[in-house]
Every structure is written in C-alpha cells, then in structure tokens.
Amino acid sequence: MYSCPSNSKVWSHLPPPIFIKDHCFPSKYIMATSRFFMPPSASTWNKSKVSLQRVNITSNAIQKTVRFSVINCSLKINLHAQPALNGEIRVPSVIKEMENEEITSLSVAGRLVKGGLVFQQDVSVRSFEIDSEYKMSTKAIMNYLQEASLNYAKKLGLTIDTCFGITPGMRKMDLVWVFRGMHIEVDRYPCWGEVVQILHWTCASGRTGVRFDWTINDINTGETQVRASCLAVMMNKNTRKTCKLPEEVKDEIKAYLRVDVEPIVEVFRYSCPQIEAMDHIKTGLTPGWNDLDVNYHVNNAKYLDWILESTPDSIRDRHELWKINFEHRKECLKEDVIQSLSRVIPNNEKNRGIEVDHDLRLESGHQILRARTVWRTIPTPAGASPA
C-alpha cells in the first residue's frame, strides 16, 4: 500500500487516491471522468482505498488495458504510466467502459415502473429552488414536472437525440408539444434538503391531445405533496397553429398511454371575467432571452411570474399558493409586451381559500393566458406559536 506524498500541490486539495496493487488511481479521475460511476453505497468506500478485483490484462503496442470488476459492474481502464514519486505508478486513467444496467441508466435520470406505463424520478430540493420560507418554489415544481415528462420520453426511446421531447413522426411533420392547460394542487411544499419522488404517466385525451399526470411524494413516508395534470397538444413549428394528433404519432406513443384513468387533479371550471372587472394591473412586462424555451416561445413557468406581478401584496405576503389553473390561449414570443391583470373573488367560505382571477394580455389586446389561483394561509410550523 502506498501513501500520497504530503508535499504534492496537485494532490493536496483532492480526495485520497485509490490504490490498486501496483497502480495508484487519483480519486479525481475515477469520479470526474466517468459519466456513470457512482458508488453503490457509502459503505463501499473506505476513505483512501476501494477493493477491485482484476479480471484480465490485455496489451498492444499502443496501450495497455486493465479490466477490473467492482460490486456488480465492470470497468476498463486505459493505463498511461507516468513517472511517480516513491516508486508509485500514478495513472491518469480514463474510464472507457462500465457494464452495469443500473449504473448506466443514470445517464437518463429516473426509471420506468409498472411495465413502462409510469416514470419515476427522485430529486433533492436544492438551495436555489426554494423561496424565503425554505420551501420549494412553485416555479421549481413546474420545471420539475416538465423535466420528468421529457425524461420519460427519452427513457422510452421515443425522443430523437438532441430533440426536445420530439418523436421521429413529429420531426417529420415539424410538430412540437405545447401545453394547452395545466392544473396544480399543492398539499404540502417540499422543503430544502428533502428528497422527493416524482411519478409521471400519460393518458389519451380525446382526438386532439394527451393528458400528462404527475404526483410528487415524500420518498420516506409516501405522502403525496403535489398533484398536477395538464393537456398537451401538437403545434406546427412553421404555422405556429395547433392541430390534431396525427395517426403516426399516436402509433408511436399508444403503447404508453393509460386508458380509463381519471385526472389526478380535479379541474375546476370558471368563467373569464370582463377586463373592466380587473382591479389590479401591471403593464410593460417583457420576456428576456432566458425566458424562452427551445421552441422560441416563453417557457410555461414564466407565466406564473407574470400573474404574480398583479397579485396584491396582502395576499402574497401572508398566504401561499394552494391551487393553480392555467388555460393557454396564445403563445408569447420574445418581442411581445404583456399586461398582467387580476381580481380577488369575494367569498365567505374559509375552506375555499382566497381565489384570484388572472388575465395575461398583449398590449395589442390579444389574450395569451387566463388563470385562477387559490391561496391559503401559510401553515404554522409544528411547535411554533402563531404570530
């Protein structure tokens, strides 16, 4: 067993190297050069060493290759020997191959369950995804829902490489997915550091679209924290108009569409108020480059920012979003200028929360989105006294 030279500047800030018989493998090469290498569990790492079993050695005039196996996977390492201190052979190794279904599947986040009809992905709530209350923001929730949908399509092999959730049939007809309506209900917001599990599945929805359903659950207790459902339809990239779901695309995805499954969120219907009834208005809102998605229109989560612009501070400061209902009417592009209008709906039922109607319009007058949000009083943490 060798020891790391204490006077080496290169090694001083790195994790301890891994020593395998006559070869020294710096930890940075094992961890940084492999896209898929992750220790199966913390217990398999023993500070400065890990036990690998050598399988065989092959060599030619150009390079020498050593194959090792660890746990249930194997890896092949190219050895380029360099001069070493204290008789070591220090190897700047590049992991060429890892043959393990569970580990390589990490190249696409998540896994398929229930015969491929449900997609499952575990995520940890990170510091840049939380609000002032240390809870996952509603916008982060919306982004995770979209990410799960795209990972599901990729995991099924339906997505063409480098294309954003586009099947071969969609690419042929210049079609993309767009959300027509989205409904989200938050029972409890995940907090910073919590690990949650996203479940996602798709269902047929008439002849025009597909319904996406999600739940976000506490990974330890199984408690459902968020439920969401949306209708996705086809849009032609050239005409920018929606269209019916083509038969070719139906054939590509029908094996993964669940039937006779009710929406995970009950859709509440409401009538759009007249613009004269809106008593809170914010004008001059414009999208930035970072607000556009790969279809060059405004990302779905950006609309939430805009409807909050005209929501009264008295509601936002003392309440949290409970339910969201979006109905998209028209896409929003980079050069558009937006007006955000809202109106608080009077009601005397405490259990219903505070309801707010929202309307996003172009300055030209065209409606791009209408929405209704429901707000509830921010829950008092356990053990804390109400303010």
Q: Which of 78, 163, 272, 295 is catalytic?
A: 295
Q: Which long-range contacts (CB under 8 A, 24 or more apart) does 263-266 make?
A: 263/183, 263/211, 263/213, 263/229, 264/213, 264/214, 264/215, 264/227, 264/228, 264/229, 265/183, 265/184, 265/185, 265/213, 265/227, 265/228, 265/229
Catalytic-residue membership of 297: yes
- Residues lower than pLDDT 50 in the chain: 1-107, 387
* pLDDT score for 148: 95
* pLDDT score for 26: 43
Closest CA to 200 of 148, 153, 159: 148
Contact 308, 341 (CB under 8 A): no
* pLDDT score for 119: 97
Catalytic-residue membership of 332: yes
In the DSSP assignment, the letter for residue 251 is: H
Catalytic-residue membership of 238: no
* pLDDT score for 108: 62
Is the overall model pTM greater than 0.85, yes or no? no
Q: Give tens-digit pLDDT for 283-301.
A: 999 999 999 888 788 988 9
Closest CA to 127 of 187, 194, 186, 189: 194
Other CB atoms within a 10 A radius of the CB of residue 12 amount to 10
Q: Which of 23, 183, 200, 297 is catalytic?
A: 297
* pLDDT score for 46: 40
Q: Which of 24, 203, 230, 332 is catalytic?
A: 332
